[in-house]
Structures are given as structure tokens and as C-alpha cells.
């Protein structure tokens, strides 16, 4: 029998979560998770996050249809960062790219654009 790991949500009540494609290992995005977002993720099997800019809970893909089905949630050694291993439907990035990490610091575009955000976020 295993016991749940107590996640350290820190002073602001949030932890970073990296979303990674469960099959390819591609890093798709980084977002923040509140205790409620983690609970909903575990209950529904769909990725939930907390938007610091909008100050609200959100389900990935609720607007766009570009969802993340959770295969597994992992926690790091300090219990203050999560890894969501996901099956990504469509793009993970609101810019239309498969991954939010679609460019280098030199400004080179190295990622695949999989949808037009103007068509999705009217």
C-alpha cells in the first residue's frame, strides 16, 4: 500500500507543473497548480491548472478543445514541483504550437504550429 505524497504548495499556494507528452517525452508547457487544481486533475483524469494572471482555476482545453489526458502525475524529490505525463490533443500552446517551447533564445522558430489561434480563440 502507498500513501499520497504531501505536496508542498508553498506560501502562495501554487506549485509549477511541467506537462510532458507521455509517449514522446516532449515538454509541452509549464503552468501552475493549486491544491484544488491537483484534486480535479486526479479526479477527472484531465489536466487542471491555476492561472496566476486571471486568478482562476482552468481546465486545459476547455475553450480550445486541445485537452490533456493525464496518464500519470509525478512529484519531484522536494515535493514542490509536479510532472504531468499527458496525452495531448492538438496543440498545448495558445499560439497554435504543439509545445510552448517552440523557439530558441536566439529567436529561431523550432516548433510545429498545429492550429491557427484566430480560428480557435475568436
Is position 78 annotated in a ligand binding site?
yes
Residue 19 has pLDDT above 90, yes or no: yes
Tell me how far the alpha carbon of residue 74 is from its chain's centroid: 13
Is position 80 annotated in a ligand binding site?
yes
What CATH code is carried by the domain that includes residue 20? Answer: 3.10.20.810
Residue 99 resides in a domain = no
Is position 21 annotated in a ligand binding site?
no
- Look at residue 122 in the predicted model and tell me its pLDDT: 74
pTM: predicted TM-score of the whole model, two decimal places: 0.93
Residue 97 resides in a domain = no
Residue 52 resides in a domain = yes
- Look at residue 8 in the predicted model and tell me its pLDDT: 97
Determine the 3-state secondary structure of 17 from DSSP: strand
* Whole-number Å distance between alpha carbons of 113 and 99: 9
Determine the 3-state secondary structure of 99 from DSSP: coil
Work out the mean pLDDT of the chain and round it to a whole number: 95
Q: Which three cell numbers stand for residue 60?
A: 486545459
* Whole-number Å distance between alpha carbons of 64 and 82: 23
Is position 77 annotated in a ligand binding site?
yes
The total number of structural domains in the chain stands at 1
Is position 119 annotated in a ligand binding site?
no
Residue 101 resides in a domain = no
Residue 66 resides in a domain = yes
- Look at residue 14 in the predicted model and tell me its pLDDT: 98
State the pairing for strand pair 48-51/15-21.
unpaired
Q: Domain residues for 34?
A: 15-90
Residue 3 resides in a domain = no
pLDDT, one tens digit per residue, over 75-122 is: 999 999 999 999 999 999 999 999 999 999 999 999 999 999 999 887
Amino acid at each position: 500500500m502507498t500513501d499520497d505524497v504531501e505536496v508542498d504548495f508553498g506560501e502562495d499556494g501554487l506549485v509549477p507543473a511541467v506537462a510532458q507528452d507521455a509517449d514522446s517525452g516532449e515538454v509541452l508547457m509549464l503552468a501552475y497548480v493549486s491544491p484544488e487544481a491537483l484534486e480535479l486533475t486526479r479526479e477527472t483524469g484531465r489536466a487542471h491548472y491555476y492561472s496566476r494572471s486571471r486568478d482562476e482555476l482552468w481546465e486545459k482545453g476547455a475553450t480550445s478543445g486541445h485537452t490533456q489526458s493525464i496518464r500519470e502525475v509525478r512529484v519531484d524529490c522536494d515535493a514542490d514541483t509536479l510532472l504531468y505525463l499527458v496525452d495531448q490533443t492538438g496543440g498545448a500552446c495558445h499560439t497554435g504550437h504543439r509545445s510552448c517551447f517552440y523557439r530558441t533564445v536566439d529567436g529561431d522558430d523550432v516548433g510545429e504550429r498545429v492550429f491557427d489561434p484566430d480560428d480557435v480563440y475568436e
